[in-house]
Amino acid sequence: MRQCRQSHGAPHHDLIPCQKLSRWTDSTHAPAPEKFQTMSDEMILVVPRSEFDRLGAFSGLHFDVEHYLHAFLTPPTPRFMARSAAELDPNFKQIIPYAIFTHQGRILSYVRCGKGGEKRLATKRSIGIGGHMNDTDSAGSVFDISAYNRALQREIGEELRLGTAYKQRAVALLNDDSSEVGRVHIGVVHVFECDTDAVECGEAVITELEFVDQVRLATLRDEMEAWSQICFDDLERLLRAVSAT
Protein backbone atom coordinates (compact mmCIF):
# COMPACT_ATOMS: atom_id res chain seq x y z
CA MET A 1 0.00 0.00 0.00
CA ARG A 2 1.51 3.31 -1.03
CA GLN A 3 1.52 6.18 1.42
CA CYS A 4 -1.36 8.64 1.14
CA ARG A 5 -0.51 11.51 -1.17
CA GLN A 6 -2.09 13.75 -3.72
CA SER A 7 -2.00 12.36 -7.25
CA HIS A 8 -1.55 14.62 -10.27
CA GLY A 9 -1.81 13.94 -13.97
CA ALA A 10 -2.65 10.22 -13.79
CA PRO A 11 -5.34 9.01 -16.17
CA HIS A 12 -8.69 8.04 -14.73
CA HIS A 13 -11.50 6.02 -16.27
CA ASP A 14 -15.18 6.20 -15.43
CA LEU A 15 -16.83 3.60 -13.29
CA ILE A 16 -19.38 1.51 -15.14
CA PRO A 17 -22.84 2.31 -13.73
CA CYS A 18 -24.71 -0.79 -12.59
CA GLN A 19 -28.26 -1.13 -13.79
CA LYS A 20 -29.44 -2.85 -10.62
CA LEU A 21 -27.91 -2.58 -7.19
CA SER A 22 -28.05 -6.36 -6.79
CA ARG A 23 -25.56 -6.82 -9.65
CA TRP A 24 -21.79 -6.51 -9.64
CA THR A 25 -19.99 -3.52 -11.10
CA ASP A 26 -16.46 -3.86 -12.50
CA SER A 27 -14.09 -0.99 -13.19
CA THR A 28 -10.53 0.24 -12.99
CA HIS A 29 -10.48 3.88 -11.88
CA ALA A 30 -12.80 6.52 -10.51
CA PRO A 31 -13.41 9.77 -12.42
CA ALA A 32 -11.59 12.98 -11.63
CA PRO A 33 -13.22 15.07 -8.87
CA GLU A 34 -15.54 17.95 -9.57
CA LYS A 35 -15.48 21.26 -7.73
CA PHE A 36 -17.18 21.14 -4.33
CA GLN A 37 -20.11 23.40 -3.68
CA THR A 38 -20.31 25.13 -0.31
CA MET A 39 -22.80 23.82 2.23
CA SER A 40 -24.93 26.97 1.88
CA ASP A 41 -25.61 26.58 -1.84
CA GLU A 42 -25.42 22.82 -2.39
CA MET A 43 -28.80 21.29 -3.24
CA ILE A 44 -28.77 17.72 -1.93
CA LEU A 45 -31.09 14.74 -2.32
CA VAL A 46 -33.44 14.03 0.59
CA VAL A 47 -36.47 11.85 1.26
CA PRO A 48 -39.17 12.50 3.85
CA ARG A 49 -38.66 10.80 7.20
CA SER A 50 -42.33 9.79 6.98
CA GLU A 51 -41.52 7.62 3.92
CA PHE A 52 -38.76 5.86 5.84
CA ASP A 53 -41.21 5.23 8.68
CA ARG A 54 -43.83 3.93 6.24
CA LEU A 55 -41.38 1.45 4.72
CA GLY A 56 -40.26 0.31 8.16
CA ALA A 57 -37.84 2.35 10.24
CA PHE A 58 -34.93 0.41 11.73
CA SER A 59 -31.74 1.00 13.66
CA GLY A 60 -28.40 -0.38 12.47
CA LEU A 61 -28.15 -2.35 9.22
CA HIS A 62 -30.96 -3.63 6.99
CA PHE A 63 -30.08 -5.95 4.13
CA ASP A 64 -33.12 -5.46 1.85
CA VAL A 65 -31.59 -2.64 -0.20
CA GLU A 66 -34.04 -2.81 -3.09
CA HIS A 67 -37.11 -2.45 -0.84
CA TYR A 68 -35.99 0.94 0.44
CA LEU A 69 -33.95 2.38 -2.40
CA HIS A 70 -36.59 1.70 -5.06
CA ALA A 71 -39.14 3.61 -2.99
CA PHE A 72 -36.69 6.40 -2.15
CA LEU A 73 -35.98 6.99 -5.86
CA THR A 74 -39.61 6.80 -7.04
CA PRO A 75 -41.28 10.20 -7.62
CA PRO A 76 -42.53 12.18 -5.82
CA THR A 77 -40.48 10.90 -2.86
CA PRO A 78 -37.00 12.19 -3.76
CA ARG A 79 -36.46 15.93 -3.69
CA PHE A 80 -33.67 18.48 -3.36
CA MET A 81 -33.09 20.73 -0.38
CA ALA A 82 -30.40 23.22 0.52
CA ARG A 83 -27.85 21.34 2.60
CA SER A 84 -27.70 24.05 5.23
CA ALA A 85 -31.43 23.47 5.88
CA ALA A 86 -31.36 19.67 5.53
CA GLU A 87 -28.65 19.28 8.16
CA LEU A 88 -31.00 20.81 10.73
CA ASP A 89 -34.31 19.20 9.72
CA PRO A 90 -35.00 15.66 11.05
CA ASN A 91 -38.19 15.53 8.97
CA PHE A 92 -35.94 14.54 6.04
CA LYS A 93 -33.23 11.94 5.51
CA GLN A 94 -30.23 12.64 3.28
CA ILE A 95 -29.25 9.51 1.26
CA ILE A 96 -25.52 8.83 1.52
CA PRO A 97 -23.65 6.12 -0.45
CA TYR A 98 -21.16 4.59 2.01
CA ALA A 99 -18.47 2.48 0.33
CA ILE A 100 -16.25 -0.04 2.15
CA PHE A 101 -13.12 -1.09 0.23
CA THR A 102 -11.51 -4.49 0.78
CA HIS A 103 -8.39 -6.24 -0.49
CA GLN A 104 -7.46 -9.79 0.51
CA GLY A 105 -9.47 -9.58 3.70
CA ARG A 106 -8.11 -6.17 4.72
CA ILE A 107 -10.34 -3.09 5.07
CA LEU A 108 -9.52 0.41 3.87
CA SER A 109 -9.37 2.80 6.83
CA TYR A 110 -8.59 6.48 7.20
CA VAL A 111 -8.90 9.50 9.49
CA ARG A 112 -10.66 12.63 8.25
CA CYS A 113 -8.93 15.78 9.42
CA GLY A 114 -10.77 18.90 10.55
CA LYS A 115 -10.55 20.86 7.29
CA GLY A 116 -13.65 20.78 5.09
CA GLY A 117 -16.46 18.23 4.92
CA GLU A 118 -18.68 17.24 7.84
CA LYS A 119 -17.20 19.03 10.88
CA ARG A 120 -19.06 16.76 13.30
CA LEU A 121 -17.07 13.76 11.99
CA ALA A 122 -13.67 15.48 11.96
CA THR A 123 -10.76 13.54 13.52
CA LYS A 124 -12.83 10.34 13.56
CA ARG A 125 -11.54 7.13 11.99
CA SER A 126 -13.69 5.67 9.20
CA ILE A 127 -13.96 2.58 7.02
CA GLY A 128 -16.53 4.18 4.70
CA ILE A 129 -16.14 6.53 1.74
CA GLY A 130 -19.19 8.53 0.76
CA GLY A 131 -21.05 11.80 0.58
CA HIS A 132 -24.14 13.64 -0.51
CA MET A 133 -25.96 13.33 -3.81
CA ASN A 134 -26.88 16.63 -5.38
CA ASP A 135 -28.84 18.11 -8.26
CA THR A 136 -25.82 18.06 -10.59
CA ASP A 137 -25.98 14.24 -10.57
CA SER A 138 -29.43 14.24 -12.12
CA ALA A 139 -29.82 14.33 -15.90
CA GLY A 140 -33.15 16.10 -16.04
CA SER A 141 -35.93 16.42 -13.49
CA VAL A 142 -35.92 12.80 -12.28
CA PHE A 143 -33.37 11.43 -9.82
CA ASP A 144 -33.37 7.70 -10.67
CA ILE A 145 -31.00 4.77 -10.25
CA SER A 146 -28.76 6.06 -13.03
CA ALA A 147 -28.43 9.39 -11.22
CA TYR A 148 -27.70 7.50 -8.00
CA ASN A 149 -24.88 5.62 -9.71
CA ARG A 150 -23.48 8.87 -11.13
CA ALA A 151 -23.45 10.29 -7.61
CA LEU A 152 -21.64 7.21 -6.33
CA GLN A 153 -19.03 7.59 -9.07
CA ARG A 154 -18.55 11.28 -8.32
CA GLU A 155 -18.15 10.82 -4.57
CA ILE A 156 -15.54 8.09 -4.92
CA GLY A 157 -13.73 10.08 -7.60
CA GLU A 158 -13.56 13.10 -5.30
CA GLU A 159 -12.22 11.24 -2.28
CA LEU A 160 -9.99 8.49 -3.72
CA ARG A 161 -7.64 7.70 -6.59
CA LEU A 162 -8.16 4.09 -7.60
CA GLY A 163 -5.40 2.35 -9.55
CA THR A 164 -7.04 -1.04 -9.33
CA ALA A 165 -9.84 -3.03 -10.89
CA TYR A 166 -12.65 -4.00 -8.55
CA LYS A 167 -16.14 -5.45 -8.19
CA GLN A 168 -18.81 -3.77 -6.08
CA ARG A 169 -22.39 -4.05 -4.98
CA ALA A 170 -24.78 -2.42 -2.54
CA VAL A 171 -25.40 -4.78 0.37
CA ALA A 172 -27.29 -2.91 3.11
CA LEU A 173 -29.03 0.21 4.34
CA LEU A 174 -27.65 1.93 7.46
CA ASN A 175 -29.57 4.08 9.93
CA ASP A 176 -28.61 5.49 13.34
CA ASP A 177 -30.93 8.00 14.97
CA SER A 178 -28.89 8.21 18.19
CA SER A 179 -26.98 11.34 17.14
CA GLU A 180 -27.80 14.66 15.46
CA VAL A 181 -25.76 13.55 12.41
CA GLY A 182 -27.50 10.20 12.16
CA ARG A 183 -31.00 11.59 12.53
CA VAL A 184 -30.76 13.47 9.22
CA HIS A 185 -28.89 10.82 7.16
CA ILE A 186 -29.41 7.28 5.91
CA GLY A 187 -26.61 5.28 4.32
CA VAL A 188 -26.46 2.82 1.43
CA VAL A 189 -23.55 0.50 2.19
CA HIS A 190 -21.51 -0.69 -0.80
CA VAL A 191 -18.66 -3.19 -0.62
CA PHE A 192 -15.83 -2.81 -3.16
CA GLU A 193 -13.54 -5.82 -3.62
CA CYS A 194 -10.26 -4.52 -5.06
CA ASP A 195 -7.82 -6.61 -7.11
CA THR A 196 -4.83 -4.72 -5.68
CA ASP A 197 -4.16 -2.21 -2.90
CA ALA A 198 -3.39 0.64 -5.32
CA VAL A 199 -5.64 3.19 -3.61
CA GLU A 200 -4.56 6.75 -2.78
CA CYS A 201 -6.10 9.92 -1.36
CA GLY A 202 -8.09 12.21 -3.59
CA GLU A 203 -8.56 14.88 -0.93
CA ALA A 204 -6.16 16.47 1.55
CA VAL A 205 -8.66 15.94 4.39
CA ILE A 206 -8.19 12.16 4.16
CA THR A 207 -5.20 11.06 6.24
CA GLU A 208 -3.69 7.78 7.47
CA LEU A 209 -5.22 5.95 4.50
CA GLU A 210 -4.30 2.26 4.43
CA PHE A 211 -5.72 -1.25 4.20
CA VAL A 212 -5.82 -2.69 7.73
CA ASP A 213 -6.29 -6.31 8.78
CA GLN A 214 -9.39 -6.96 10.84
CA VAL A 215 -7.48 -7.90 14.01
CA ARG A 216 -5.75 -4.52 14.11
CA LEU A 217 -8.93 -2.75 13.04
CA ALA A 218 -10.67 -4.14 16.12
CA THR A 219 -8.17 -2.26 18.29
CA LEU A 220 -9.13 0.97 16.49
CA ARG A 221 -12.91 0.54 16.79
CA ASP A 222 -13.35 3.09 19.57
CA GLU A 223 -11.76 5.76 17.34
CA MET A 224 -14.34 5.23 14.59
CA GLU A 225 -17.33 7.33 13.66
CA ALA A 226 -20.68 5.74 14.56
CA TRP A 227 -21.49 4.42 11.06
CA SER A 228 -18.10 2.73 10.81
CA GLN A 229 -18.59 1.12 14.22
CA ILE A 230 -21.96 -0.25 13.11
CA CYS A 231 -20.46 -1.65 9.89
CA PHE A 232 -17.41 -3.08 11.65
CA ASP A 233 -19.57 -4.85 14.25
CA ASP A 234 -21.43 -6.68 11.46
CA LEU A 235 -18.55 -6.79 8.97
CA GLU A 236 -18.67 -10.53 8.35
CA ARG A 237 -22.32 -10.35 7.33
CA LEU A 238 -21.65 -7.38 5.05
CA LEU A 239 -18.82 -9.24 3.33
CA ARG A 240 -20.94 -12.40 2.98
CA ALA A 241 -23.70 -10.35 1.39
CA VAL A 242 -21.33 -9.35 -1.41
CA SER A 243 -21.34 -12.87 -2.85
CA ALA A 244 -25.00 -13.63 -2.08
CA THR A 245 -27.17 -14.35 -5.08
- Residue 91's beta-bridge partner residues? none
Backbone angles phi, psi at 40, to 5 degrees: -70, -30
Domain membership of residue 74 as a residue range: 42-242
CATH number, domain containing residue 102:
3.90.79.10
CA atoms of 96 and 88, how far apart (whole Å)? 16
3-state helix vs strand vs coil in the chain, percent to 5:
30, 30, 40
* pLDDT grade for 21, boundaries at 50, 70 and 90: very low
pLDDT at position 184 is 97
In a domain, 119, yes or no: yes
- pLDDT > 90: percent of the chain: 69
Query: What is residue 164's three-state secondary structure?
Result: coil
pLDDT at 104 over 90: yes
Pairing of strands 185-194, 92-103: parallel
pLDDT digits over 40-93, tens only? 578 999 999 999 999 999 999 999 999 999 999 999 999 999 999 999 999 999
In a domain, 181, yes or no: yes
Query: What are the angstrom distances between the C-alpha of 92 and each of 52, 65, 78, 137, 175?
Result: 9, 19, 10, 19, 13
Q: Give the number of other CB atoms < 10 A from CB of residue 168.
A: 25
In a domain, 24, yes or no: no
In a domain, 36, yes or no: no
pLDDT at position 24 is 42
In a domain, 8, yes or no: no
Q: Please report, as a single letter, which amino acid is at residue 229.
A: Q
Residue of 57, 40, 41, 139 lying closest to 93 (CA atoms): 57
In a domain, 223, yes or no: yes
In a domain, 207, yes or no: yes
Total domain count, the chain: 1
Omega of the bond leading into 76 within 30 degrees of 0 (cis): yes
Contact between 222 and 180 under an 8 Å Cβ cutoff? The reply is no
pLDDT at position 20 is 39
If you average pLDDT over residues 19-43, what whole number do you get?
46
Whole-model pTM? 0.83
In a domain, 62, yes or no: yes
CA atoms of 180 and 158, how far apart (whole Å)? 25
Total length of the chain: 245
